[in-house]
Structure 1
Amino acid sequence: MSDHEGLDLAALDRHLREAGIPRSGELRAEFISGGRSNLTFLIADDASKWVLRRPPLHGLTPSAHDMAREYRVVAALAGTAVPVARAVTMRDDDSVLGAPFQMVEYVPGRVVRYTRELEALGGPETIEACVDALIAVLADLHAVDPDAVGLGDFGKPTGYLERQVRRWGSQWSLVRRDDDPCDGDVAALHEKLAQAIPPQSRSAIVHGDYRIDNTILDADDPTRVAAVLDWEMSTLGDPLSDAALMCVYRHPTFHLVHADAAWASELIPPEDALAEKYSRAAGQSLDHWDFYMALAYFKLAIIGAGIAYRARESGATDDTDKVQQAVAPLLAAGLTQLG
């Protein structure tokens, strides 16, 4: 039984046995991903496979890595039209692994992160059908009644847009460079957003980071979503903000934030086509859409600046300049949306 940094398999094994989770043979672990977000491991014994997520070892931001929150929404959505992995166990303290963690059943399938993986799904018709399936799942999520699944208190049902504008505006001061040339555009876009906040379209469960690489596609049928992943940003909010961020991730500049990102590929329909697909799938009009898109551009710009900031702080500067270059055009796109 060998360990990875941040993962004590002997302690995890004791926890699983004490929790009454069926076990067969020695636990094994494989590191899947991590660094900018939570650490993810594939855990297996002779009979079962699970996926375990825990916060990163360094630079933890508690609000972005709430294990209990992520686990709760996955458990609540079981049995709905939204495909999720079966919840297995969770600890919201450091008594087992030295940090909170959550574990769900392993879902086999494809995770499409890069353009080459998107191309491997099939021709244009297959990719179009895959996009339609992804958008249908997002619409299904927004159609779930939070009270009916025990998530009525998962967030504040009103004031979401005001909080988003305030939150992402305040984040800039934490991630900006000294004498940052984007200061003026950040201030201008933040002011425009604050003045243009529309009435909330409605309240729904929002994913907060929805795009193709945060899902698992069926291994045999890429036009079927097997599971939605990465719920750490989920809450109760305005579903149009969720849809707009999905569209903004399609912007070519996203390649600078995540190199060769599949969702930013030209094989994916452009932003306006994605928006229309969502509107039809959800049966929801796109009122005040320019605001929602501008807010999404603003959010993604600040996220990009945050990635560059953490890279500078850690000394991992290989991609810092490239990611930093995404901030200005994203801010400019947001300003264009609001005129």
Structure 2
Amino acid sequence: MALNDQSTRIRDGEELDAAIIDSYLKAHIPGLSGEPQISQFPGGASNLTYLLEYPQQEFVLRRPPFGHKAKSAHDMGREYRILNQLNAGFPYCPKAYVHCTDESVIGSEFYVMERVNGIILRADLPAELNFSPEQTTQLCKSFIDKLVELHNVDYQACGLGDLGKPEGYVARQISGWSDRYEKALTPDAPLWTEVKAWLNEKMPADHPKSAIVHNDYRFDNVILDPRDPQRIIGVLDWELTTLGDPLMDLGNTLAYWIEAGDPAPVQLMRRQPSNAPGMLTRQQFADYYAERAGIEIKSIDFYYTYGLFRLAGIVQQIYYRFFHGQTQDKRFAQFVQMNKLLEQMSLQVIKKSSL
């Protein structure tokens, strides 16, 4: 089995015209020759990601999903800009080559970036890696170190000081995701009434040091060096990146972090090997983050619950497209059940919380 991330056939309804793509790229990227072979990366549930293989060079094309889109989501130009400017302070961003704003080319905006060839972890650690628990712990800490490094980037020096508005970030996230959730409601979705009330009641002040917030930092968005799989060489999926409270970003990552002791229904949602022997628990993750960042985190309950609610909002927006027939991707059929489970997980955190 090849450990490097593999593309597959393009899903029905998500095809690209190779001749049109080829003509456009050759007009904008010097030195291209031959014809591209186009395939699709199967991971991800938001923007669509394709592999363009030329005889001498490989690219990745990103475009928004088909169907309904949240008002401010899937901004290709913004993601293109982040990749090119953030690289100066965080050298794990792939180089972006071209951003197409002419929707007549493929039916939407898109951008093309370099392919960083490496290992992307999915639900389980590949047996071929043969990691010991100690090696897995080291990989986990390296993963957290990159998040701390990102949060310490001087975003003003990168020219990204206008990327977002850090002041009032926590309050805007709670109200914003509440609003987005309401807009994506379907008749079979939970209301999250108790959780939303708790988040509003327990809302802390913004962290005094604002940071670049990735907003989707998890193992299947990082690339490992095939020659040294404990070394991270790339970080992907910058579409949700902004400026804000780094602890809210930590909460987002903890929401994806399903640990070994979580119950069976929760394990069914796991999409990264966060349960592997040697991986830190959520509390250990937060403690190590706080130690490396040099900050105190008295409780992760608010940030973790926020992360779960925000994840439910993302899940529900995707399910909304499936519910209304705007996507044929059958992976999304059960997303409403995931939403319901996320609400139950949040209520358990609230029940046990000392806040």
Q: CA deviation at 1:307?
A: 4.1
CA distance in 2, matches of 1:254, 1:15: 48
Whether contact under 8 Å (1:8, 1:97) holds in the other structure is: yes
TM-score, normalising length from structure 2? 0.85
Whether contact under 8 Å (1:27, 1:45) holds in the other structure is: yes
Q: Deviations over 1:225-246 (max 9, x none)?
A: 1100111110011111111221
Matched, 1:117 2:111: no
Matched, 1:149 2:164: no
Question: Are residues 119 and 259 of structure 1, via their aligned partners in 2, closer, same or farther at CA, if it must alter by over 3 Å?
Answer: farther
Counterpart secondary structure, 1:147: coil
Counterpart secondary structure, 2:150: helix
Q: How many residues align?
A: 335
Query: Which amino acid is 2:323 matched to?
Result: R
CA distance in 1, matches of 2:317, 2:266: 13
Residue matched to 1:330: 345
Matched, 1:198 2:204: yes
Counterpart secondary structure, 1:83: coil
Residue matched to 1:230: 237
Matched, 1:242 2:249: yes
Residue matched to 1:105: 114
Residue matched to 2:304: 293
CA distance in 1, matches of 2:267, 2:320: 12
CA distance in 2, matches of 1:117, 1:189: 37
Q: CA deviation at 1:142?
A: 0.7
CA distance in 1, matches of 2:204, 2:251: 14
Which aligned pairs between 1:48-67 and structure 2 lie closer than 5 A? 48-67=57-76
Counterpart secondary structure, 1:156: coil
Residue matched to 1:162: 171
Higher helix share: 1
Aligned identity (percent) is 33
Q: Which runs of 5+ in 1 are unaligned?
A: none
Counterpart secondary structure, 1:278: helix
Q: Say which is worse superposed, 320-329 or 164-173, in terms of deviation.
A: 320-329
Whether contact under 8 Å (1:110, 1:217) holds in the other structure is: yes
Q: CA RMSD in A?
A: 2.8
Whether contact under 8 Å (1:308, 1:323) holds in the other structure is: no
Query: Which amino acid is 1:244 matched to?
Result: G
Q: Deviations over 1:146-186 (max 9, x none)?
A: 11001000011211111100011123323344375x43xx2
Question: Are residues 257 and 66 of structure 1, via their aligned partners in 2, closer, same or farther at CA, if it must alter by over 3 Å?
Answer: farther
Residue matched to 1:132: 141
CA distance in 2, matches of 1:254, 1:152: 43
Residue matched to 1:187: 193
Question: Are residues 62 and 179 of structure 1, via their aligned partners in 2, closer, same or farther at CA, if it must alter by over 3 Å?
Answer: closer
Q: Deviations over 1:30-68 (max 9, x none)?
A: 111367311111112111111111111223335221111
1:303 aligned to 304, 314, 318, which one?
Answer: 314
CA distance in 2, matches of 1:254, 1:50: 39
Matched, 1:88 2:88: no
Question: Are residues 161 and 118 of structure 1, via their aligned partners in 2, closer, same or farther at CA, if it must alter by over 3 Å?
Answer: farther
Question: Are residues 326 and 117 of structure 1, via their aligned partners in 2, closer, same or farther at CA, if it must alter by over 3 Å?
Answer: farther
TM-score, normalising length from structure 1? 0.88
2:40 aligned to 31, 40, 65, which one?
Answer: 31
Whether contact under 8 Å (1:82, 1:137) holds in the other structure is: no
Residue matched to 1:78: 87
Q: Which runs of 5+ in 2 are unaligned?
A: 1-8
Q: Deviations over 1:271-301 (max 9, x none)?
A: 0001011112222222563322221122123
Whether contact under 8 Å (1:31, 1:41) holds in the other structure is: yes
Q: Say which is worse superposed, 159-168 or 196-205, in terms of deviation.
A: 196-205
